[in-house]
């Protein structure tokens, strides 16, 4: 499952133009981030985490006339009005707005990584949001071409953001090291802040929920999530007794 993309991680780190940061290196840091995340929250939520599904529509070209492009997502059609001289980015924005105006949509539009590429992500786990570009993929209307992508399993939006931040911080440590101290390129501080937020999920201060509000399945691993108080039952002490062995009002 995709915890973070290479392009988004580079963007988060501000290293998208750095030719020394290879995709292989970025991918290794994404895998590092995934291992950290799973290691921290694996005793809170069942692993692997539930998958959401992502697809893309890529627009290209420049409009040479006026017409309507129809894009269907999960059987819901979006009519995109194209006028002469519209760029691919402008048509992509029209599609984004059409989705935002549709309160019944079963997916969300991710923030813009590329002006001409629209990221479509399912709201609920297990929903594979299929992209159908009319009956032809790609389709071209008056010089504008729309091409559907492949379905990719991805993580909860919050997990993706944390993974991108952790991986980006690791890249910044390599790119700038200690010389970045007290700047926005300081990977060590960004890493520690990402881990700090990750621990709020571990402590259940922030819960991971599906699009319908249901919390993710919790882990069966034992983990103390509370401190004993003066109402804690000390049990009978038998070999089958698994209750707490002390309370805060005991004196030793």
| 152-196 residue pLDDT tens | 889 998 999 999 999 999 999 998 877 666 666 788 999 999 999
CB 123 within 8 A of CB 63: no
CA 248 to the chain's CA centroid: 42
Q: What is the mean pLDDT of residues 90-96?
A: 94
Instruction: Give tens-digit pLDDT for 203-252.
Output: 999 999 988 888 999 998 755 555 555 555 555 555 555 555 556 566 65
pLDDT above 80 (res 202): yes
Q: How far apart are CA 16 and CA 175, in angstroms?
A: 12
Q: And the tokens for 235? A: 């049990």
CB 109 within 8 A of CB 123: no
Q: How far apart are CA 225 and CA 204, in angstroms?
A: 9
Q: Can you give the pTM of this predicted structure?
A: 0.76
Q: How far apart are CA 181 and CA 188, in angstroms?
A: 8
What is the band of 58 on the pLDDT scale with cuts at 50, 70, 90? very high
Q: What is the pLDDT of residue 74?
A: 76
Query: In the predicted model, what is the mean pLDDT of the chain?
Result: 85
Residue linked to tokens 């006339």: 65
Q: Looking at per-residue confidence, does 30 or 56 come out higher?
A: 30
List the one residue out of 101, 59, 53, 54 whose CA is nearest residue 76: 101
Number of Cβ atoms within 10 Å of the Cβ of 125 = 18
Q: How far apart are CA 87 and CA 83, in angstroms?
A: 9
DSSP annotation of 235: -
Could you give phi then psi for residue 219, rounded to 5 degrees? -75, 150
Using DSSP, state whether 124 is helix, strand or coil. Answer: coil
């Amino acid at each position: 499952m995709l915890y973070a993309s290479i392009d988004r991680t580079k963007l988060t780190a501000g290293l998208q133009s750095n030719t020394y940061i290879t995709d292989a290196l970025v991918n290794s840091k994404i895998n590092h981030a995934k291992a950290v995340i799973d290691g921290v929250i694996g005793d809170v939520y069942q692993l692997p985490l539930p998958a959401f599904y992502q697809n893309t529509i890529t627009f290209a070209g420049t409009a040479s006339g006026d017409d309507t492009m129809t894009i269907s997502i999960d059987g819901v059609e979006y009519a995109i009005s194209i006028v002469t001289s519209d760029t691919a980015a402008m048509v992509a924005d029209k599609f984004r707005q059409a989705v935002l105006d549709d309160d019944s949509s079963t997916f969300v539009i991710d923030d813009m990584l590329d002006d001409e590429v629209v990221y479509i992500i399912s709201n609920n786990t297990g929903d594979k949001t299929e992209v159908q570009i009319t009956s032809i993929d790609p389709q071209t209307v008056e010089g504008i071409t729309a091409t559907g992508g492949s379905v990719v399993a991805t993580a909860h939006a919050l997990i993706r953001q944390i993974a991108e931040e952790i991986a980006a911080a690791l890249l910044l440590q390599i790119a700038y090291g200690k010389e970045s101290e007290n700047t926005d390129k300081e990977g060590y501080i960004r890493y520690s802040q990402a881990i700090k937020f990750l621990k709020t999920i571990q402590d259940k201060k922030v819960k991971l929920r599906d699009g319908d509000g249901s919390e993710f399945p919790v882990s069966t691993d034992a983990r103390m999530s509370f401190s004993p108080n003066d109402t804690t039952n000390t049990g009978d002490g038998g070999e089958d007794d698994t209750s707490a062995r002390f309370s805060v009002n005991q004196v030793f």
